Amino acid sequence: MSEITSLEPRIVWEQFDAITRVPRPSKKEGKIIGLVHPDYNEALANGLSAERINGIMEQNRTTLNDMLPRYSQVAAIKNGTVIDHIPVEKTFDVVNLLQLQHLSTPVTIGYNLSSKMVGTKGIIKVSDKFFTDDEISRLSVVAPNVVLNIIKDYEVVEKKTVETPDELRGIVRCNNPKCITNNEPMSTVFNVVDKKRGILKCHYCDKEQYIDKVELV
Does 153 share its domain with 199? no
Helix locations, 81-190, DSSP H: 91-97, 133-142
* Residue 120 sits in the same domain as residue 108: yes
pLDDT in tens, 74-98: 457 889 999 998 988 888 889 988 8
Beta bridge partners of 82: 125, 149
Residues 148 and 88 in one domain: yes
In this prediction, residue 141 has a pLDDT band, given cuts at 50, 70 and 90, of confident
Alpha helix segments (H runs only) across the chain: 10-20, 40-45, 50-75, 91-97, 133-142
Same domain, 70 and 122: no
Q: Are residues 142 and 119 in the same domain?
A: yes
Q: Are residues 13 and 49 in the same domain?
A: yes
The domain of 144 spans: 79-161
* pTM score: 0.59
